[in-house]
Structure 1
């Protein structure tokens, strides 16, 4: 056992001369002591606060005895399901069991249970009924209210009720964790800790807070889709630390109370988190098992920010990290990079300098710091950029320049998402040019997601013309730089609002622009997003107007096939989709093996007709009013 790792077994605890630990941190992932892993941050934070911490990684979930690995902790458990929601880690969007888990030694599947956050909490409560259990992490954050569960096809109550946790710490939990740990160590009863921002607790009607916003309860939202949609809007509108209010939702018997979100870490506090003594490696005991695959993407990457005001409706960040951006200082980032260059297996390449959105470092606007983020479904960048948006890449560019000048650094890449609609708003193209010259590893990943106006609006994404403008300029600057680099667009099929006709428009767009995506994603309805609310209810939670949702297996398969129309295996479904949408004029061009039909269509100018139809549809959608006011 290496002393710079926290203990993961009783033997390692005793080797430190400890007879007990103060807190046990339980995680559904392997123990990787790297700041990209939530359990690593929480355990190191508790260590920094002066507590003895044991890390219980992927415990045997068939018995509560595994929770007794370190004996009875003095104060309690902090539990998380892992970096990735356990159900997403286990199942594809088609609900097919995955054969690999990147967060497990050797990539072996099945080392954690389904709904691991719930199962681990129940196990801890069974092992030590009297001890406090604080449940946190992504899985808990997204399930803190009554929520639609895609895998069961029904609405479930809050994870607090199903797990039996004493508190749920939602979002990025450094502030909450430190305060709760201190108060428990002072002897305060867990049931009296009801005033910590960024936490949820259960109570009865008589002990509700003095002021709160109430949304429909579990029984109501599980049977009434309008009530579910209204509850979703209330919950989304209160996710700001400045303007948010406590939210109350009755579960089966008791009431869930969500306190206002915790204030995001300041730049200084975020720097302190990344200055903690992470080894940046997986525990050495995993070496013989093949290591932990998930470390490969992050070992030589740098997280420079948190939060995202992009506000895509299908993204979980709003309910977890939040929309307020906090970024690390230049000195902190450079210090991490310098330490990275001294690692024995560092080859000179920093793989990423980013975060949820790589090129966000500043608040979205000055107003958000005093009045909070806009609610009511408003987005900073879509359908048009807000005139109050602060657009500035100077600080980010300065950091990148310093990193690539470090001794031992050959290249600094940006692999996490660049928000292209933000980038092209910058009238100073210096960052854009240096991005292309120095920071693209042959391909730049961006996320237009779709091209149909109606679908993009429900996604919370800007019109496709914005992407077209960016793409055109990207290739112009690439040619000027004398490079051969390409855009790799992320695309999504079957998102709420996307009709089969919209999917055909996207296929036609891809054909016209000679784009052949190697990977596409079918919409995955994970808990806690606006898009999942639309998927379940068929309603826009901000207008309560109906939203088309593709739910049949066959239509979803056709929408997905259209994104890769050129694959011979998709020919039958593409043909069927074109016939159902009365777009037979596109069969010669979108169906593999249609050369004879293509020749005949050229004589009839079929494709030109198709282009005109596409342009006509775009024109129709442009005339439709936006929700933004």
Structure 2
């Protein structure tokens, strides 16, 4: 601050991540955006939270203190889906765990209140964003209140926050009230909040109602999801004891011009000089470039698409190529761009082709149960961008390192040819997640036949390019509604193909997703009962069916209690026992698409595809 000639900061950002001045890191992105609007911004990364000392390192800010857990939810960062403590943290120097507290947004807010009484507190980032209303908390097994009520912060920013924080700074500087800002939530007494409620607001079930009834939680989650369109979504009011939270509709996504301006800001593109050890998250993304925001997939378990929104927005080729030039000229660049992507890489240049339809749409997914007729599927803008990046001075390769949607890729065979021939590093990440069409429907993912069709197309394209390349499918175990029979079917299919997968995750319920509400109430969105693996032993059994089928087969003689049937027995969300198998569960045979998947997966390395890592 002395070197800059500042006597104080206008805005202070407290973050749970180590500080990397790169657009892939939220605090840097917001900090640079505010700076471009003329504000002086200070960032305090990973403060020690047992005292106020670190929080006061840059003094008291003139406008407000922003709080974020960082790029990840602090509870997801700290605990596995089995509720075990993780041994590492990719966003911390040295990759060591324990540098951020549990429920970091709450802890940091309390410390700021203690250190700087009277300073407005603004919550943001994915942890706060997905806790803006009452939500099921997997780690405690309860429905928790909106995080604003726990922290007593002045305002919460949900979604990507550039528009909101700039407006909040402007209003605080002018002494204006923080009301009706799109993409924010505020709170107060029921009387005061209802007095200013917009006429079109949707009144949700109260916190007490959803805490008492998991079915009400599912209904509320679906109702909230239907209001996530920035152009037609309604304000949401939720009561909690004598207070209420008013959530405004999401902010409009940044336009291509605004995204270009954001990513053209003068990022140092490096960790802060204070760090001497490696930061794993930085190592992973240092040679990659974000080219697209938002995801139209609408997968029922995905928190990222809820946070970034369903509207897809892409940077211009010129903006991306300017960043390619900066990257190519940076110290230590190997000549390979590891990724040109985003939440879904091959959505670059895609999205809705009808502004009118986009502004009125309430579909939860642009792609499920089938691709919307308004959703563009021509990948030429993306293949052109990849080609331009690969031919730039100082660049040898431009690869696709983030995941792609294989159902979209199948709409453009020319893209698959270019992808296999020029832009795959030997392994291509893809996320079928499962091979049971019933489970895939609950996930809002394309049926198994799409994966087998894509795998065959990619295999043939790789052969034509003279390359030995493999798909790396990501699979999920213990998803709500997934039975042991489902996992046995997938395990048998993989075994028949001679494949042992390694990229398998156990479903982790995160706040606000439809899948988490399904987990809590053991019902699908239609209200039909589903089986849910709740106990760690049940989840482990499903995981072992894919990773260690022999071990699971041995244990199968004495399956964990509840495996293959409804767990029943209730839990802290109030679910009661149910007898027998729910309708639609029970034995799930290997249908036509599953047989086709097994046949296709038999293509091993010698055939140019089919290996699962």
Normalising to structure 1: TM-score of the pair? 0.87
> What secondary structure sits across from 1:458 in the alignment?
helix
* Residue 386 of structure 1: how far off its partner (Å): 2.9
Shift of 1:66: 2.5
Matches within 5 A, 1:400-411: 400-411=386-397
Evaluate the alpha carbon distance shift between residue 276 and residue 574 of structure 1 in structure 2; reply closer, same or farther with a 3 A threshold. Answer: farther
Does 1:615 find its partner at 2:591?
A: yes
Structure 1 residue ranges (4+ consecutive) displaced by more than 4 angstroms after TM superposition = 368-371, 568-571, 574-582, 616-619
Partner of 1:102: helix, strand, or coil?
coil
Aligned to 2:423: 439
Instruction: Determine if contact 1:271/1:328 at 8 Å carries over to the other structure.
Output: yes
1:164 partnered with 2:149: no
Q: Would the aligned equivalents of 1:495 and 1:523 in 2 still touch at CA under 8 Å?
A: yes
Whole-Å separation in 1 of the counterparts to 2:457 and 2:531? 34
Counterpart CA distance in 1 for 2:50 and 2:588 is 61
Contact conserved, 1:233 with 1:376, CA < 8 A, in 2? no
Give the direction of change, closer, same or farther, for the CA distance of 1:83–1:612 in structure 2 (3 Å limit).
Answer: closer
- Contact 1:220–1:227 under 8 Å retained in 2: yes
1:300-328 C-alpha deviation (Å, 9 max, x unpaired): 10000000001111101342100000100
Q: CA, structure 1 residues 158+14, in 2 after alignment: closer, same or farther (shift >3 Å)?
A: same
Mapped to 2, the partners of 1:363 and 1:350 lie a distance apart of 22
Tell me the equivalent position of 1:154. Answer: 142
Structure 2: tracts of 5 or more residues without a match: 565-586, 596-613
Question: Is 1:448 aligned with 2:435?
Answer: no
1:312-366 deviation per Cα after TM superposition (whole angstroms, max 9, x unaligned)? 1110134210000010000000000001111111110101000000010245333
Q: What are the Cα deviations for residues 15-41 of structure 1, in whole angstroms up to 9, with x where unaligned?
A: 322221111111000110000000001
Once the two structures are TM-superposed, the CA of residue 371 in structure 1 deviates from its matched residue by 4.5
SS at match of 1:384: coil
User: 1:374, CA displacement in angstroms?
Assistant: 3.8
Give the match for residue 203 of structure 1.
Answer: 188
Q: Does structure 1 retain, via aligned residues, the 8 Å contact 2:448–2:594?
A: no
* CA positional deviation for 1:376: 5.7
Shift of 1:117: 1.1
CA shift for structure 1 position 575: 5.8
For the 8 Å contact 2:67–2:105, the answer to whether it is kept is: yes
Q: Is the 8 A contact 1:176 1:262 kept in 2?
A: yes
Match status 1:322 vs 2:312: no
User: Who is 2:85 aligned against?
Assistant: 97
* Separation in structure 2 between the aligned mates of residue 410 and residue 72 of structure 1, nearest angstrom: 48
Quick one: structure 1 residues 354 and 616, their matched pair in 2 at CA, closer, same or farther if it must change by over 3 Å? closer
The answer to whether the 8 A contact 1:67-1:124 is kept is: yes
Q: Paired residue for 1:525, among 496, 500, 509?
A: 509
Structure 1 counterpart of 2:382, from 396, 417, 420:
396
Distance 1:243 1:92 in 2: 37
Return the index of the structure with the highest Cα Rg. 1
CA distance in 1, matches of 2:411, 2:299: 18
**Aligned runs of 1:245-394 on 2, under 5 Å?**
245-287=234-276, 290-362=277-349, 364-367=351-354, 369-372=356-359, 374-375=361-362, 377=364, 379-394=365-380
Distance 1:303 1:42 in 2: 15
Structure 1: segments with no counterpart, 5+ residues: 1-12, 583-610, 620-629
User: Residue 183 of structure 2 contacts residue 250 of structure 2 at CA under 8 Å; is this kept in 1?
Assistant: yes
**What residue number does 1:511 align with?**
495
Matched with 1:87 is 75
Q: Deviations over 1:122-156 (max 9, x none)?
A: 11122222111110000001111100000011010
| Corresponding residue number in structure 1 for 2:543 | 560
State the match for 2:602 in structure 1: none
Other structure's SS at 2:347 match = coil
Secondary structure of 1:477 counterpart = helix
> Does the CA-based 8 Å contact 1:383-1:463 persist in structure 2?
no
CA–CA separation in structure 2 for the residues paired with 1:179 and 1:616: 54
Q: Secondary structure of the residue that 1:250 maps to in structure 2?
A: strand
Offset of 1:208 from its aligned partner? 3.6
Per the TM alignment, residue 220 of structure 1 is displaced from its structure 2 partner at its CA by 0.8
Once residues 540 and 578 of structure 1 are traced to their aligned partners in structure 2, the CA distance between those partners, rounded to angstroms, is 23
| Count of paired positions | 569
Q: Distance between the aligned counterparts of 1:76 and 1:64, measured in 2?
A: 17
Check the 8 A contact 1:157/1:252 in 2, yes or no.
no
Q: What is the alpha-carbon distance in structure 2 between the residues aligned to residue 575 and residue 335 of structure 1?
A: 60
In the TM superposition, 1:115-194 aligns within 5 A as: 115-188=103-176, 192-194=177-179
Aligned runs of 1:20-59 on 2, under 5 Å? Answer: 20-59=8-47
State the TM-score, normalized to the length of structure 2: 0.89
The alignment's C-alpha RMSD in Å is 2.2
Q: 1:221 aligns with which of 187, 195, 210?
A: 210
